[in-house]
């Protein structure tokens, strides 16, 4: 290769190296400098190539391309914000705004809000709100892409109320906007079923909206997820019928098919979930995991383990969530030895490092079987630090099986682990240990523990009951 003359088309071909290493990228970078090629498109490709192998070094090199390009180029800035890690993107944006290096366009705000959505924290939410105020002042907020990204940002940062406010201010909405708001509600539904209900109401509104936006694959996955959270079979079946009649055969799309398997399983219709699962032409690890979880919910422990064997035959590697569902299935079905065997095979056979939730499943499995000493030794031998949830699971098992000695030992460990609960004035661990003593008739110990709670000013939170209607909106009227 001649260093003194490098045609532009030849340089462009270098960017097609999909397996290019960092050293290859540096060589391409050097050729651009030697041949004095100042094309923004070439340098943007170079930024993308550096960022395809993310590290602190490659991010630094990508940043240097922008800072040393004279004059400063907005296209390179947008590429840098879009491709670099979110934390670095936000720093680049803040630096450009403070120094007024360039006049920003709506693409800049779309990319930086996207970074805020990926880098979720309290400070990020504050920064995103400042960006929202800035686009309002500049008038950029009237761009539909900016407003849609704002909705996604607020939903990712758990402020779905602000996201809905942006959504309601839009006079015309496309499918992407509707999907952002519906999936925003679905992402919050684990905290409250009210959000899942709102997602279904929004889908109903979408079907009759004057803008004429049509549901897409992403829409249907979000709506089915909302139905799964609510557990309303009637509404889920209506959505399934709508998909069959107006969009496509769900068995042909792996994501919609997986969502249907999950929805029918959680709505108590396991046969329908299995029927869709076996009819699906393509299944990924999410599909198999959804079916394993469905079998676990319905107490089909042995069937879920057989499904793991089929995954191996189909060359699909299970992930950590798959094993959480499998171990949960063993817990509910009382398959102690099978569960212990699966846990041992996680690392030796599948190369998966157990997480805290997997250790929790084993503690629950042994505790339900009454093997309390074994569960205690298992916790003490864990390579990771056990959390309060594991100890509470064992304490609950001690209460069920009447092992007062073990319960007292575990209860005292819990009280030492949770000093922050004392300062806040409440503690479920005191109550749980008190219940262990009460079940054994040790009223003197119960009284002593209650007195200690009074001395420490630890209050027991009163219980409450909540009656909530799970009736979903009548989607069938619109379908």
pLDDT tens digits, 46-57: 898 888 888 888
Place of tokens 């996680």: 346
Give the distance, in angstroms, between the CA of residue 244 and the centroid of all CA atoms in the same chain. Answer: 28
Least confidently predicted of 18-22, 63-67, 238-242, 303-307: 18-22
Let me know how many helices (H) and strands (E) the chain has, helices first. Answer: 27, 0
Structural domain that includes position 409: 384-460
Provide the pLDDT for residue 435.
Answer: 67
Helical spans, DSSP H, in 69-105: 74-83, 86-99
Cα–Cα distance, 202 to 180 (Å, whole number) = 11
* Contact indicator for 367, 377 with CB cutoff of 8 Å: no
Residue 411 lies in a domain: yes
Cα–Cα distance, 30 to 2 (Å, whole number) = 13
Indicate if the pLDDT at residue 329 is higher than 50: yes
Indicate if the pLDDT at residue 433 is higher than 90: no
Cα–Cα distance, 271 to 276 (Å, whole number) = 9
Residue 365 lies in a domain: no
Least confidently predicted of 78-87, 164-173, 419-428: 419-428
Residue 333 lies in a domain: no
Residue 201 lies in a domain: no
DSSP, res 143? S
* Contact indicator for 410, 398 with CB cutoff of 8 Å: yes
Query: What is the average pLDDT across 305-331?
Result: 92
User: Burial code of 219-258, b = ≥16 C-beta within 10 A, e = fewer?
Assistant: bbbbbbbbbbbbbbbebbbbbbebbeeebeebbebbbbbb
Indicate if the pLDDT at residue 264 is higher than 80: yes
User: Burial code of 182-205, b = ≥16 C-beta within 10 A, e = fewer?
Assistant: bbbbbbbbeeebebbbbbbbbbbe
Helix (H, G, I), strand (E, B) or coil at 426: strand
Query: What is the average pLDDT across 220-249?
Result: 88
Output the CA–CA distances (angstroms, integers) from residue 223 to 87, 147, 250, 258, 455, in the order listed.
32, 21, 14, 13, 51
Residue 28 lies in a domain: no
Indicate if the pLDDT at residue 315 is higher than 70: yes
Tens digit of pLDDT for each residue in 144-186? 899 999 999 999 998 999 999 999 999 889 999 999 999 999 9
Note the pTM of the prediction, 2 decimals. 0.79
Provide the pLDDT for residue 465.
Answer: 52
Indicate if the pLDDT at residue 14 is higher than 70: no
Residue 393 lies in a domain: yes
Residue 421 lies in a domain: yes
Total of domains in the chain:
1
Output the CA–CA distances (angstroms, integers) from residue 88 to 84, 358, 394, in the order listed.
6, 34, 43
Is the model more confident about 210 or about 264? 264
Output the CA–CA distances (angstroms, integers) from residue 92 to 29, 37, 81, 109, 391, in the order listed.
21, 24, 7, 12, 45
What the block records as the tokens of 121 is 């924290």
Residue 391 lies in a domain: yes
């Amino acid at each position: 290769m001649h260093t003194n003359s490098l045609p532009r088309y030849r340089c462009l071909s270098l960017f097609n190296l999909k397996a290019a290493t960092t050293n290859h990228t540096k060589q391409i970078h050097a050729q651009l400098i030697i041949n004095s090629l100042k094309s923004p498109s070439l340098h943007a490709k170079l930024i993308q190539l550096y960022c395809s192998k993310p590290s602190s070094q490659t991010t630094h090199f990508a940043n240097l391309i922008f800072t040393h390009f004279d004059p400063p180029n907005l296209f390179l800035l947008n590429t840098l914000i879009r491709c670099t890690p979110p934390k670095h993107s936000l720093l680049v944006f803040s630096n450009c705004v403070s120094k007024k290096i360039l006049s920003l366009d709506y693409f800049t705000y779309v990319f930086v809000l996207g970074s805020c959505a990926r880098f979720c924290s309290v400070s990020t939410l504050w920064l995103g709100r400042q960006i929202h105020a800035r686009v309002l002042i500049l008038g950029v907020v009237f761009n539909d892409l900016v407003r849609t990204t704002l909705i996604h940002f607020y939903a990712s940062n758990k402020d779905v109320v602000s996201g809905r406010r942006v959504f309601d201010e839009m006079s015309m909405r496309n499918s992407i906007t509707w999907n952002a708001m519906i999936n925003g509600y679905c992402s919050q539904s684990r905290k409250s079923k009210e959000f899942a209900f709102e997602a279904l109401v929004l889908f109903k509104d979408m079907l009759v909206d004057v803008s004429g936006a049509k549901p897409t694959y992403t829409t249907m996955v979000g709506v089915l997820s909302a139905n799964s959270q609510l557990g309303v079979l009637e509404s889920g079946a209506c959505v399934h019928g709508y998909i069959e009649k107006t969009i496509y055969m769900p068995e042909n799309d792996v994501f919609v098919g997986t969502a249907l398997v999950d929805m029918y399983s959680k709505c108590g219709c396991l046969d329908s979930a299995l029927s869709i699962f076996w009819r699906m032409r393509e299944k990924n690890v999410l599909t198999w995991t959804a079916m394993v979880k469905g079998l676990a919910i319905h107490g089909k422990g042995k069937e879920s383990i057989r499904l793991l064997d089929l995954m191996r035959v189909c060359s699909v590697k299970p992930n950590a969530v798959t094993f959480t569902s499998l171990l949960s299935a063993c817990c509910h079905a009382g398959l102690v030895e099978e569960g212990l065997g699966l846990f041992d095979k996680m690392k030796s056979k599948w190369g998966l490092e157990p997480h805290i939730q997997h250790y929790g499943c084993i503690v629950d499995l042994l505790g339900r079987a009454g093997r309390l000493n074994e569960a205690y030794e298992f916790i003490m031998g864990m390579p990771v630090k056990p959390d309060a949830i594991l100890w509470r699971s064992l304490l609950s098992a001690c209460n069920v099986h009447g092992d007062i000695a073990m319960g007292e030992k575990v209860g005292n460990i819990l009280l030492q682990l949770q000093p922050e609960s004392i300062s806040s004035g409440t503690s479920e661990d005191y109550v749980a240990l008190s219940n262990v003593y009460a079940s054994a008739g040790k009223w003197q110990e119960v009284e002593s523990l209650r007195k200690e709670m009074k001395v420490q000013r630890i209050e027991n939170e009163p219980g409450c009951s909540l009656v909530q209607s799970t009736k979903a909106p009548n989607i069938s009227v619109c379908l």
